[in-house]
Amino acid sequence: MGYVGVTTGLVFAELGWKVTGLDTDALKIQSLSEGKLSFYEPGLDILLSQHLQSDNIRFTSDPIQAIREHSVIFLCVGTPSDINGSADLQYVRNVAEHIGTNMNDYKLVAVKSTVPIDTNRKVRQWIREAQTSPHPFDVVSNPEFLREGSALYDSLHPDRIIIGSNSKQAVDTLKTLYRSINAPVLVTKPKTAEMIKYASNAFLATKISYVNELSRLCDKIGVNISDVTKGMGMDHRIGPHFLRAGIGYGGSCFPKDSKALLYTAKENDIQLSILEKVTEVNNSQASYFLNVWEEKLGGFDHRTIAILGISFKPNTDDLREAPSLAIMQHLLEKQAILRVHDPIAKLPSYLQGEFVQQFDSLEDTLDGADAIILCSEWTDYIGANWSQLRSVMGDYFIFDGRNKLDGKSLTDLGFYYYGIGNR
């Protein structure tokens, strides 16, 4: 019952199926049963309350009940990075073993978690080894492509549904479950489906790092990267999406999945040199522009910096691998004083202290600030009354890490505006 599990459960409830949400975290289960989400995701709270009422969804921390009562099981547990970069499969294995132990009839196990190539076979093996009696089952790879912040929309309107399976019965069952969703279904071998997921995330990360690296050149030569990507994106072979330069991609997936794919490549003695560079560019993008901005400001030392938007992207409270975290750490090392704002996300406790404070209102955050660094482009910032906000600031620098504010209007208001690759 994380981001993927809750969204998947509620979407199937919305499509009319009877769903049980299972999680080992009893507090999460209690809160979901009371209609409260344990994370912020637009639209899910409404569906949760609707389907608790319609009785299409309920929640439990009892794997025996959940597994026995259902013939189809979606596996949505986390696959975080292990210390060596590989995907840690301990949660996947744990659920597989629970399924094996508690199986009472035929089960279709659909793996939605992002898992390394050939995990499907391992899940089958883990279930088989845990079985106490020989019930038949299928394991299917059914990777998830939703984005946080638009999880519900993405799940109801996916570009494609990938089903990796060698079993016609299993494929037909999944097609039936998804029948009300208008999207092409691509049936592949399990390993191919697993690879499609990694290859897709890695490709999106590649697009971002490509423009981010170009943005450094644009910054030097006085060309606006946003104008460049606009022109590039008009070519339908390139497309306009995922070409927005910024302080780098964050989140629970691009960094983790790139590492996992690089690990798989290494295990197979193949070098994915492009993906290595994608990661490298991403890891240095924020610090590259922090250096540029530091020069413009004349140093961060003892300056008051307002950090706007700490989540890894707007419309989520997820801080996993958020670029803002490394930026705040860097600024603190430079002896800056930080005033932080986010509409939803809360500053992690390890960053709280004498020189960092989070405020509820934008006005309080900007009170006395010398500069603003925009890390995540919440609409609250784009639509803010900047003329009024300017009056509470000490100095007037805006460093737009997402190229989303209107630089021209801000300059007209008397701000010194700098974006990414956009002087």
Ligand X SMILES: O=C(O)[C@H]1O[C@H](OP(=O)(O)OP(=O)(O)OC[C@H]2O[C@@H](n3ccc(=O)[nH]c3=O)[C@H](O)[C@@H]2O)[C@H](O)[C@@H](O)[C@@H]1O
Ligand Y SMILES: NC(=O)C1=CN([C@@H]2O[C@H](COP(=O)(O)OP(=O)(O)OC[C@H]3O[C@@H](n4cnc5c(N)ncnc54)[C@H](O)[C@@H]3O)[C@@H](O)[C@H]2O)C=CC1
Interaction pattern, residues 284-323, with ligand X; x per rule: CB under 6 A: ----------------------------xx----------
Question: How many residues form the binding site for ligand Y (CB under 6 A)?
Answer: 24
- Cα separation, 356 vs 368, whole angstroms: 14
Catalytic residue status for 218: no
Q: Which amino acid is at 14?
A: E
Give every CB contact of residue 153 below 8 A, 6+ residues apart in sequence: 43
**Binding to ligand X by residue 253, rule CB under 6 A?**
yes
Structure token digits, residue 183:
């999207």
CA pseudo-torsion sign 161, 162, 163, 168: positive
Q: How many CB atoms lie within 10 A of CB 158?
A: 19
Burial class (CB in 10 A: 0-12, 13-18, 19+), 252: buried
Rounded to the nearest angstrom, the gap between the alpha carbon of residue 395 and the centroid of all alpha carbons in its chain is 34
Residues 230-269 that bind ligand Y (CB under 6 A): 252-253
Judged by CB under 6 A, the stretch of 172-180, 247-255, 300-308, 343-351 that binds ligand X is 247-255
How big is the chain, counted in residues?
A: 423
Task: Rule CB under 6 A: say whether 326 interacts with ligand X.
Answer: no
Tokens at residue 240, please? 């306009």
Among 32, 57, 77, 193, binds ligand Y (CB under 6 A): 77
* Residue 253 or 405 with smaller CB distance to ligand X: 253
147 has binding-site annotation: yes
Q: Which amino acid is at 35?
A: G
Is 312 marked as binding a ligand? Answer: no
Counting contacts by CB under 6 A, is residue 148 touching ligand X?
A: yes
d(CA 22, CA 11): 15
Pairwise CA distance, residues 417 & 399, whole Å? 6
Per CB under 6 A, which region of 5-13, 28-36, 243-251, 413-421 contacts ligand X?
Answer: 243-251
**Site membership for ligand Y, residue 29 (CB under 6 A):** no
Choose the stretch contacting ligand Y; rule: CB under 6 A; options: 88-96, 272-280, 365-373, 407-415.
88-96
Tell me which residue has its CB nearest to ligand X. 253
Q: What is the DSSP letter of 87?
A: B
Q: Alpha-carbon distance 197 to 310, whole Å?
A: 27
DSSP H or E segment with residue 397: strand 397-400
Stretch that binds ligand X, among 14-22, 140-148, 163-171, 384-392 (CB under 6 A): 140-148
> Among ligand Y, ligand X, none, what does residue 342 contact (CB within 5–8 Å per kind)?
none
Q: How far is the CB of 9 from ligand X (least distance, A)?
A: 17
Q: Kindly list the catalytic residues.
A: 253
Annotated binding site for substrate: 145-148, 197, 242-246, 250, 313
* Contact positions vs ligand Y (CB under 6 A): 1-5, 22-25, 28, 76-79, 91, 94-95, 113-114, 144, 146, 148, 252-253
